[in-house]
Amino acid sequence: MKKWYYAIFLVGLYFFNQAFKSYVEVYGLLEGLLVGLAIAFLCKLVFKVVTKTVVFIAVVCGILVFLVSSGYIQLPSEISNLLNLGMSFTHISHFFLI
């Protein structure tokens, strides 16, 4: 299944990207295939890194919110005041929107 990703990506790139289609017409199918595979590999690598990073940040934030809400971690008073001020603005803006 992993190999099909590259084939589908190359076909999509050829049909939906005019610049890549022109590149293949000028430099040939073999060089276009190599460049397309390089682009597909980089896109897959970036997607994998970004996805793992977002999931990691979401898990860490979820754990922190749980620990703060259950009382295991105490926030400094400055941050707590800032969050309370933000919540009061949220409630006030909600009041005016209704």
Cβ contact 68:75 at 8 Å: yes
Name which residue leads in pLDDT, 80 or 70. Answer: 70
**For residue 88, what pLDDT band results from cuts at 50, 70 and 90?**
low
Name which residue leads in pLDDT, 56 or 81. Answer: 56
> Six-digit token pair at 7?
């084939």
Cα 45 to chain centroid, rounded: 12
Cβ contact 10:37 at 8 Å: yes
Q: What's the rounded Cα separation, in Å, for the pair 74 and 72?
A: 7
Cα 28 to chain centroid, rounded: 34
Predicted confidence (pLDDT) at residue 57 exceeds the cutoff of 90: yes
Predicted confidence (pLDDT) at residue 1 exceeds the cutoff of 70: no
Does the predicted TM-score (pTM) go above 0.75?
A: no
Query: What pLDDT sits at residue 97?
Result: 53
- Helical pair 29-70 and 2-16, crossing angle rounded to 10 deg: 110
